[in-house]
């Protein structure tokens, strides 16, 4: 029996998707009986001082930020837990990736991206999970006021170019008018104090004016303030369909939360979400692979680009087709029973995607890395 102790360094305090995943992984490992310490304060100063067996560091930060010299003095194995959204990782990651003893990623999309980038060390897929007790179809719905009874498209994302907010808005406004009993409900937020609710609303308003649409558009409900987790769960269950024409996802936690809530997904058919989304629980949008810089240079770009990460030579992501997105949204709107059927299937699929499953797979991967298995 292997004796080891793990130290986890990651963004556990953050409210982001990375922070959520970090917390869930730690808890899942502990439920599997793994001794997991947080940060450096509880770990040994050196391997020689440890009585708990092998010392393992799991690093859930960008790989180039680790002090490898210090880490190798203190730990027997150094494991990277990471995620990436385009077809290749940033260039400044690569001098460090192969210094790890192994890498954990949440999807096949991630593993392929790392291999495409030149990673040679073992890579193990450890998927994210979803709490199906918290996210479930029985949750009360978000109050829609005057829009009660309409077909509701829901979307949850951070206001950045990778999420493709401009295509979502354009498709919705062009496809639906005030004659349709429909609503688009968006929960989003910016990245600093300057990107507040008013800034986002103004960006969207100016974009709508720029499109010069020929008809009165269907309504948009925009939520930009911080809300409670219980309110977020209500947003999911208020939807007939979840829609996000993302350009790239390592996983896509909102997709997991949506299907767990019994709500089908409309999204681009490329990215980490393709590990758990299927034609039986989703509507897929056609796409073309393009270098991210191409869309960042267009007039339709309305949100933060992060071009230093996502517009490097050799990187690709998916550009969803506008006409097909419109068609899939119209198809969902015209077939509420089909949405219920896909949502029911999504709920059943989500029941098999627990964080306990993630913990079991991560424990297995850690022990394979400790044992020197190179087959990842």
323 membership: H or E segment, kind and range: helix 322-334
Using CA atoms, how far residue 220 sits from 109, 274, 334, in Å, is 32, 28, 19
Q: What residues does 297 pair with on adjacent strands?
A: none
Lowest mean pLDDT among 34-48, 199-213, 307-321, 359-373: 34-48
Residues 98, 100, 105, CA angle at the centre, nearest 5°? 90
Dump pLDDT digits (tens) for 122-170: 999 999 999 999 999 999 999 999 999 999 999 999 999 999 999 999 9
DSSP result, 277-311: --TTTEEEE-EEEE-HHHHHTSTT--SB--HHHH-
Is the CB of residue 102 less than 8 Å from the CB of residue 365? yes
Dump pLDDT digits (tens) for 60-89: 999 999 999 999 999 999 999 999 999 999
97 membership: H or E segment, kind and range: helix 94-97
Given pLDDT bands bounded at 50, 70 and 90, which one contains residue 48?
very low
Given pLDDT bands bounded at 50, 70 and 90, which one contains residue 51?
low
What is the rounded distance in angstroms from the CA atom of residue 126 to the CA atom of residue 371?
Answer: 18
Please tell me the predicted confidence (pLDDT) of residue 2.
86
Is the CB of residue 18 less than 8 Å from the CB of residue 249? no
Residues 315, 245, 105, CA angle at the centre, nearest 5°? 50
Please tell me the predicted confidence (pLDDT) of residue 50.
55
């Amino acid at each position: 029996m292997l004796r080891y102790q793990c130290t986890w360094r990651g963004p556990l305090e953050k409210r982001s998707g990375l922070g959520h995943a970090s917390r869930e992984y730690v808890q899942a490992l502990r439920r599997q009986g793994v001794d997991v310490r947080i940060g450096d304060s509880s770990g040994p100063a050196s391997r020689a001082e440890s009585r708990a067996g092998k010392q393992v560091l799991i690093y859930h930060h960008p790989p180039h930020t680790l002090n490898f010299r210090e880490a190798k003095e203190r730990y027997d194995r150094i494991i990277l837990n990471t995620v990436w959204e385009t077809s290749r990782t940033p260039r400044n990651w690569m001098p460090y990736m192969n210094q790890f003893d192994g890498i954990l990623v949440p999807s096949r999309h991630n593993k392929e991206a790392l291999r495409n980038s030149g990673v040679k060390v073992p890579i193990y897929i450890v998927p994210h999970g979803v709490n199906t007790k918290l996210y479930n179809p029985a949750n009360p719905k978000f109050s829609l006021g005057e829009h009660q009874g309409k077909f509701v498209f829901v979307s949850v994302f951070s206001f950045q170019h990778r999420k493709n907010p401009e295509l979502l808005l354009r498709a919705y406004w062009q496809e639906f008018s005030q004659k349709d009993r429909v609503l688009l409900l968006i929960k989003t937020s910016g990245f600093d104090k300057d990107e507040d609710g008013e800034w986002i609303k103004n960006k969207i308003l100016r974009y709508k004016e720029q499109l010069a649409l020929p008809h009165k558009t269907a309504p948009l409900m925009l939520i930009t303030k911080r809300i409670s987790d219980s309110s977020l769960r209500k947003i999911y269950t208020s939807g007939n369909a979840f829609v996000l024409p993302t350009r790239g996802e390592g996983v896509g936690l909102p997709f997991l939360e949506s299907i767990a809530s019994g709500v089908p997904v409309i999204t681009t058919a490329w990215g980490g979400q393709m590990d758990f989304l299927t034609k039986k629980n989703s509507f897929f949008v056609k796409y073309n692979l393009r270098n991210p810089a191409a869309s960042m240079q267009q007039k339709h770009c309305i949100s933060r680009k992060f071009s230093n990460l996502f517009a490097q030579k050799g990187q690709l992501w998916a550009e969803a087709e506008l006409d097909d997105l419109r068609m899939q949204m119209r198809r969902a709107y015209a077939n509420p029973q089909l949405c219920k059927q896909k949502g029911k299937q999504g709920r059943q699929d989500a029941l098999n995607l627990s964080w306990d499953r993630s913990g079991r797979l991560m424990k297995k991967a850690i022990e394979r890395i400790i044992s020197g298995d190179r087959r990842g």
